Amino acid sequence: MNIPSFQLDGKVALVTGGSKGIGFGMAQALGHYGAKLVITSRGVEEGENAVAQLKEENIEAVYFPCDVTKKDQVEQLVAKVVDHYGSLDILVNNAGMNIRKPLVEVEESDWDQVLTVNLKGLFLIGQACSKQMIKQNYGKIINISSILGTVGMQFQTSYAASKGGINQLTKVWAEELAPHNITVNSIGPGYIKTPMTKEWLSDPERTEWIINSTMSKRIGETSDLVGPVVFLASDTSAYVTGQILNVDGGWTAR
């Protein structure tokens, strides 16, 4: 039996929203397994600092700024990646945001902002990268969803809608791209300690509730996503597509 490897040597990975939090942690993981990285985000200083840190860890990486909600910028980004490295093998479609409010307080602008970044941005990047991967007859697309794409929770109207949309896009894209040797999967993190969740987790009662909602009885760390993202980016997952892998300490299983 031919045993596939988790190593990503020679593969080129693009990570959106890769300058901090979950995105940076997943970029580190891919880099340590041999991938050449392209980090993109809107914050230039954060992006450059992230690349500098990766290089200190002997990871090959570059930073290209991009607003994923702008189609022209997205298309330019993919062209830059291919021009710089010659291919684009892995996409970690991670850029996202959240505005937590009760339903009756959600402004139209809140809804538009979250859906534009989380869903339109993910679509634009996925579309542009797919065109390149089809040319190569190879690719790995990993969309970053959330357990809130599966379960309901108060104050998450726009965010949950966007993540549910991501889960459905994952299934549709997997069907369309399978003939081109491209797999498409989602990772649905539970609560992970990141800058985006710091304020939300600062409430002791809420934190205790989250801990008690998981089988693992703890808040997740970015390191908990290393195995899932490397698995889905490598050829060990060649027969896995259209799936949503929840990394949530057992939350959704309950």
CA angle 202, 204, 209 (to 5 degrees): 110
Q: Where are the beta strands (DSSP E) in the chain?
A: 12-16, 36-40, 61-63, 90-93, 139-144, 182-189, 244-247
Task: State the Cα–Cα distance between residues 11 and 162, nearest whole angstrom.
Answer: 29
Task: State the Cα–Cα distance between residues 53 and 49, nearest whole angstrom.
Answer: 6
**DSSP 3-state of 20:** coil
Burial class (CB in 10 A: 0-12, 13-18, 19+), 146: buried
Burial class (CB in 10 A: 0-12, 13-18, 19+), 120: middle
Residues 38 and 61: beta-carbon distance below 8 Å: yes
For the annotated catalytic residues, the residue numbers are 159
Residues 19 and 49: beta-carbon distance below 8 Å: yes
What does the DSSP assignment read for 171-195?
Answer: HHHHHHHGGGTEEEEEEEE-SB-ST
CA–chain centroid gap for 137, Å, is 22
Task: State the Cα–Cα distance between residues 38 and 214, nearest whole angstrom.
Answer: 34
